[in-house]
Structures are given as C-alpha cells and as structure tokens.
Amino acid sequence: MKDFLIVGLGGFIGSAARYGVYLLTAKLYFEKPYLGTLIVNLLGCFLIGILSGELIKINNQTGLFLIAGLCGGFTTFSTFALDGLKLIRDGMITQFIFYASVSMIGGLIVCLIGLYLMNKA
C-alpha cells in the first residue's frame, strides 16, 4: 500500500507539472497547441533517461516515486521510449518494431474509433 501512495504522490506532481507546461506553452504558442505535448514528451524522455541510470539505484521507493510516479504522471511517452530502448539494447529488434508500430498506429486507430463512437452516439 505504501508503494501505491509513493507512486501516487509522484504522479500528482508529474501531472501538475505537465499541466503547467501545457498552460505556459498555450500562452506562448497559442496557435500551436501540440507543442505542449511535444515539449512534455521530450522532457519526460530526457528525465527518465537520466533517472534510469546510476542515479536511481538509490532504493526501490525512490525509483517508484521518480520513474513510475513523476515521469509516469508527466508523460507515459517516456516509459514507451525507455521500454523501446531496452528492447533494442537486448537485441529484440522484431519485438521493438512490433511494440512501436502497434503503439503508434494502434493508438491512433483506437483513438479514432473512440472519437467515432462518441460522435455517433
């Protein structure tokens, strides 16, 4: 139960930070609303890369707070990138191609289906 609270606290902070980046980006670049998502995804990938190195090996709860919580709340794209790099590093290229393709194309397709179903109702 304690681990769930640790992840939840990190997730709260990460989600609030994501919203802050969105607000700032919307104010500065209102004609390009996608830039907020792009910035969050790139920052999240950079952050999870740093944290997944030696720095995070302090203890399990620190890792849960920073990686699963903070980075997960900030952007799940960072986890997608880290998982993809692990597959590549482990020589699982076919699995990486499948994972990346299904995540990107499949995500777009099921989002489109969801939008279609809700607009049809």
Where are the domains positioned within the chain?
2-75
Q: Residue 5 pLDDT > 70, yes or no?
A: yes
Q: Residue 121 pLDDT > 90, yes or no?
A: no
Average pLDDT rounded to a whole number, residues 81-94:
95
Average pLDDT rounded to a whole number, residues 85-94:
96
pLDDT given for residue 102 in this prediction: 95
Burial (Cβ within 10 Å: 0-12, 13-18, ≥19) of residue 35 = middle
How does pLDDT run across 22-78, given as a tens digit for each residue? Answer: 999 989 988 887 898 899 999 999 999 888 876 666 678 888 999 999 999 999 898
Cβ–Cβ < 8 Å for 71, 14: yes
Report, in angstroms and rounded to the nearest whole number, the Rg of the chain calculated over CA atoms: 17
